[in-house]
Amino acid sequence: MDIIWRNNSSDDVYEEARLARVFTARHPDHHPTAIVRAKSESDVVEAVRLAQNLNLQVNVRSGGHSYPGWSLSDNSILIDVGDYREIKVDVAKKEAWISSGMKSDIDMELMKEYGLILGAGHHPGVGIGGYLLQGGLSWNCRGWGWTCERVKALDVVTADGRLVRCSSDEHSDLFWAARGLDLVDFPGVVTQFQVQLLPAPKAFITSGYTFPKAQILDAFNWVLGLIPAFDEDTEISAVCKFPDGIDEICLTVSFITMKDSAEAAWNVLQPAHLTRPKGAILEWFFREDSFEKEYANEVSAFPGGRRWLADNAFLNNEADVAAFLEELCMSITDKHFALLWYPLAPQSLRPLPDMAFSLRSDHYIGTYALYESEDDDEKCQSWMQATAAKLEPFRTGSFSGETDFRVREVKCWGDDQFAKLTEIRQRWDPDGRICGPLQ
């Protein structure tokens, strides 16, 4: 087992392992006692048993893309599964076993090799481990649903060092919790997930429109009007920020259509194009796209090596959504801030399977601050807090994957689900061996 002890390694070696793949440059000041670079399930079992013997906690890193850097804690063994990368695909059943150290760019590989996709995170570096445990806001979530809905089973090393398979038939409580529990401390280390895959789209086409500040309300009203009848294989999103080289906020509305043919995609995108408000300062229509290009866009919009703050809300469906979104956009007075609106209907109208993931609405709103200098911490935190306060009266809940539980109290699960989660955690990890943000 490849293990790096804090008190027994050079600072360079230890720091490299401590911060490997950690996305935010606001590095938490936490120092694990040891870091295990696990390459197999047996490494994970051995590492958990070692923690037990030494009476240390266990933390886990898959992709390192938790915004607050949850994978770092003191008095712990950090099990980094980033080098445990395995994938076994059953093409006939459209199923796969995927190790938690794989990253979201797995969709590119699945598409090329097997003509299938998982529908993982939008950023290629997001780890499959953290992503699936917290629910998984997938590509085209409004049509294809939360990725955890497609998890069929998983293998878990429990807090007492046993490797168990969990599904609807075996250890069904852990299976229930694994689909949406994460970030209130899943009581084990997931080594691999069995997932249902989707057929890969043959045509991957986008349109996009960047509207000036004065047209933001018109733009929101236009898209809101389209959504109820809009194609379910199309991801819709809108981002408000100061685009590079432009001195005012703009709103970019994007449609990513993933269909079986270019003709089908044309039929989806053309009506939206014909009805768009006039006056966009930049637009593209029916542009051929791919996961490679989308990942590249995502990496340039969400660069690593920066300080990051992220928060979010599921907005009450009864709110005056366009007016409220416009008001939020107007609060963006600085190039460090950004707002994402990601409509979730019709998926949000369908019943969810019985699982921990339980809160959502028709409208997901993400708020982000990205900046380089510690000097901007206070300004950015203030904006995040002010925006959270504006959202509060209209918030039906939050998504744990983009939440910092240490900043404020957040409701990410229904009351019944939260009570059940607490009980499952107590049953499987009574000593609090596996740590997370609430430990």
Is the Cβ of residue 127 or residue 217 nearer to ligand FAD in the bound state?
A: 127
Minimum distance, C-beta of residue 36 to ligand FAD, in the bound complex (Å): 13
Under 8 Å between Cβ of 26 and 307: yes
Minimum distance, C-beta of residue 146 to ligand FAD, in the bound complex (Å): 8
Is the Cβ of residue 134 or residue 417 nearer to ligand FAD in the bound state?
A: 134
269 alpha-carbon distance from chain centroid:
27
Please give the sequence-ordered ranges of beta strands (E in DSSP) within 167-216, or none if there are none.
188-196, 198-199, 203-212
Minimum distance, C-beta of residue 297 to ligand FAD, in the bound complex (Å): 12
Q: Residue 86: how many CA atoms within 13 Å on its side-chain side?
A: 13
Under 8 Å between Cβ of 355 and 176: yes
Is the Cβ of residue 120 or residue 240 nearer to ligand FAD in the bound state?
A: 120
Residues within the interface to ligand FAD (CB under 6 A): 23, 59-67, 70-71, 81, 100, 121-123, 126-127, 129-131, 133-134, 136-137, 182, 186, 189-190, 302, 401-402, 436
DSSP H or E segment with residue 165 = strand 163-166
Report how far residue 269's alpha carbon sits from residue 275's, in angstroms, rounded to the nearest whole number. 10
Supply 255's token pair: 């449609």
Q: Residue 83: how many CA atoms within 13 Å on its side-chain side?
A: 15
| Residue length of the chain | 439
Minimum distance, C-beta of residue 262 to ligand FAD, in the bound complex (Å): 26
Report how far residue 44's alpha carbon sits from residue 61's, in angstroms, rounded to the nearest whole number. 12
Is the Cβ of residue 131 or residue 337 nearer to ligand FAD in the bound state?
A: 131
Is the Cβ of residue 239 or residue 264 nearer to ligand FAD in the bound state?
A: 239
Is the Cβ of residue 129 or residue 145 nearer to ligand FAD in the bound state?
A: 129
Query: Strands 203-212, 250-259: parallel, antiparallel or unpaired by DSSP?
Result: antiparallel
Minimum distance, C-beta of residue 319 to ligand FAD, in the bound complex (Å): 23
Minimum distance, C-beta of residue 101 to ligand FAD, in the bound complex (Å): 8
Report how far residue 321's alpha carbon sits from residue 98's, in angstroms, rounded to the nearest whole number. 38
Minimum distance, C-beta of residue 393 to ligand FAD, in the bound complex (Å): 25
Secondary structure class of 89 (helix, strand, coil): strand
Phi, psi at 246, each rounded to 5°: -120, 140
Is the Cβ of residue 62 or residue 207 nearer to ligand FAD in the bound state?
A: 62
Residue of closest CB approach to ligand FAD: 130
